[in-house]
Structure 1
């Protein structure tokens, strides 16, 4: 498992894989070799992420703040914490599990967002938990989307980029880029442990 390797070993392995990728890119390629390039690049990406996580961990251990880390990465301190932090569950005192187990969360969130934005609430409501089902009335939907329209105009379609999925506390949270006539927004769908929708929001894209 590379997760347990020290930073120096991981960095050396990353340099080795990066050099191998650079060498392969510079060689004459037959069509099947392009698939090998993807595999090599994916290996480099995985190792680079592990190196970055260790660097952030050591930076925090040295006393640097999440604000400093976020500034360096071009994100908010909350976004940096959500990506690299190790939150402790106040209920148990144990590190919180950040593993996303809901493998179809992006697809389900996309279907729900599409149904809500198109006004097909009968298609969306079966995915809501009891609290959201009671609270998310047609009037609430209409008022919320009217407020968004007042800020950025009419909805034009989904924005660039894939849905962003992560686990926050007990919830699986999916952010989906949205494109409006005068700006960008994002839909956020939160699923509870029963894989029912526990929250639905349309937010500015910079919201952590």
Structure 2
């Protein structure tokens, strides 16, 4: 009897182990299958977004060729005529006959550039920052002016810690959606979180990704020059 109970105990234990292996294998397979399906759906959705963007660009340019104004197009898209032009515009450079189209810069590039500017400022890398400033703007945006302005920030709310809600707007103020490309001068905007508060940083960037304007102000500052 004791031997029978021992054998039964061994069989029961082995059965539990086998079931555990089967269940774990099933769970692992199910999770992997779910992850694969989810990633496939993400890739499919991204392709659909890309196709929709291409179709929208083609449709807008067709509307322009049929005489529609940027104001009309902007109304349909819920943006200003300038924002519509900067996103979809296409003009010819009279100097060389080459077309200049919307898409010379992406929103992501401007977002990264904006944070890079304040990385340089926060680290005191003013020589590196000066190389990013348009030559015509270097007198107004001198190293002395930038250093003095940042020193005031440090004395009030401490050093830079992080960024929040970095985005891009046209000079008129309309926000440009993530994933879009833009034409001409735009403004990168970010909230610079410091040790004891935050400030708003604004960087006006031309089509060659050169700084043509720089602003460090309280987050509720108004009116804004750009």
Aligned-residue CA RMSD in angstroms? 4.4
1:141, distance to aligned residue in structure 2 (A): 4.0
| Paired position in structure 2 for 1:79 | 83
Correspondence list, 1:55-94, <5 A: 55-94=59-98
Aligned to 2:48: 44
Compared CA separation, residues 59 and 104, structure 1 to 2 (3 A)? closer
Task: Return closer, same or farther for 1:127/1:65 CA change in 2, 3 Å cut-off.
Answer: closer
Distance 2:45 2:114 in 1: 29
- Equivalent residue, structure 2, for 1:107: 112
**Structure 1: runs of 5 or more not aligned:** 1-28
**1:188 pairs with 188, 204, 208, which one?**
204
Q: Distance in 2 between matches of 1:207 and 1:49?
A: 32
Measured in 1, the distance between the counterparts of 2:207 and 2:60 equals 29
Cα distance per residue 1:146-175 (max 9 Å; x no partner): xxx9xxxx9996442556685645x8x662
- The higher radius of gyration belongs to 2
| Structure 2 residue corresponding to 1:133, chosen from 123, 138, 148 | 138
- Cα distance, 1:198–1:38 mapped onto 2, change above 3 Å: same
Q: Higher relative contact order by CA 8 Å / sep ≥ 6: 1 or 2?
A: 2
Q: Is the 8 A contact 2:117 2:129 kept in 1?
A: yes
1:166–1:174: 8 Å Cα contact kept in structure 2?
Answer: no
**Cα distance in 1, alignment partners of residues 206 and 105 from structure 2:** 13
Cα 1:116/1:105, change in 2 over 3 Å: same
Using structure 2 for the length normalisation, give the TM-score.
0.53
CA distance in 1 between partners of 2:81 and 2:54 (Å): 19
User: Shift of residue 58 of structure 1?
Assistant: 2.4
Using the alignment, how far apart are the partners of 1:177 and 1:105 within structure 2? 11
Note if 1:30 corresponds to 2:34: yes
Distance 1:108 1:45, change over 3 A: same
Q: Is the 8 A contact 2:189 2:200 kept in 1?
A: no
How many residues align structurally?
A: 169
Q: Aligned-pair distance for 1:43?
A: 0.5
